Amino acid sequence: MSETNAKFPNREGQTVPNVTFAIRDGEDWISKTTDDIFAGKNIVVFSLPGAFTPTCSSTHLPRYNELADVFKSNGIDGIVCISVNDTFVMNAWAQDQEASNIEVLPDGNGEFTDGMGLLVDKNDLGFGKRSWRYSMLVKDKVIDKMFIEPDLPGDPFEVSDADTMLKHVAPDAVCSAAVSIFTKPNCPFCTKAKALLSQHKMPYEEIAMGKDASSLSLRAVTGRSTVPQVFIDGQHIGGSDDLEAYFNAQ
């Protein structure tokens, strides 16, 4: 699949548009310029049609957020998400997504997106003017690489994903396994399992019973009623003793 297509311009080798973003930071309005964001830095950018929309929330932003540390260890100074939304919407979305590794930039007037030649009409959805989905690597304000979604109906999502960008930035990069662990407060076996994961340098998502999930959810997913229950890359490992056996067998 080609990274670009005839309808949208490939701006590789050109500088990013010179604009100022109006951002709400707590109770204050601040302005960030193109220089503030890109000058002297290696920045990965991904742009999407809208905050809180399905693909953007379920896949596009979460995976970039998940791989942020891998990008950083391979020379990337920051990851930026741009959308033609206002700053209040973008801030609320980032908070809802718990996307602390991503800087969200509100291109409320579409100036940056228009300058990229990627402002499209989505009036049929009641969206007005929005960004076409794309990603790019920017080095000191110069666009080094672009991945622009193909000109197909709807909202294609084939080439602007985080894994495609990471493969370009660092073809040999190794991503951590996806690890989730069901726990309960004050559970010594849960503490043991989390210590084992940390010892083996495996970042994990903790799913706390009573807060993030119910006992019914635990039984439905694992077939068990005890905690901890650990999953690694989709494989159900089991409790703390099972996890210890898993590591000993490696």
The tens-digit pLDDT sequence of the chain (250 residues) is 334 455 888 999 999 999 999 999 999 999 999 999 999 999 999 999 999 998 888 889 999 998 999 999 999 999 999 999 999 999 999 999 989 999 999 999 999 999 999 999 888 888 889 999 999 999 999 999 999 999 898 889 999 999 999 999 999 988 878 899 999 999 999 999 999 999 998 888 899 999 989 999 999 999 999 999 999 999 999 999 999 999 999 8
pLDDT at 45: 98
CA–centroid distance for 165 within its chain: 12
| Total residue count of the chain as it appears in this document | 250
pLDDT at 3: 47
240-248 vs 188-199: helix crossing angle, rounded to 10: 20
Q: By the 8 A CB rule, do 164 and 147 touch?
A: yes
pLDDT at 174: 80
Q: By the 8 A CB rule, do 149 and 133 touch?
A: yes
Domain ranges of the chain: 20-169, 179-248
* Superfamily of segment(s) 20-169: Glutaredoxin (3.40.30.10)
Identical topology for domains 20-169 and 179-248:
yes
pLDDT at 1: 36
**Residue of 56, 175, 187, 190 marked catalytic:** 56
**Fold (topology level) of 179-248:** Glutaredoxin (3.40.30)
Q: Is 56 a catalytic residue?
A: yes
Pairing of strands 119-121, 103-106: unpaired
pLDDT at 2: 38
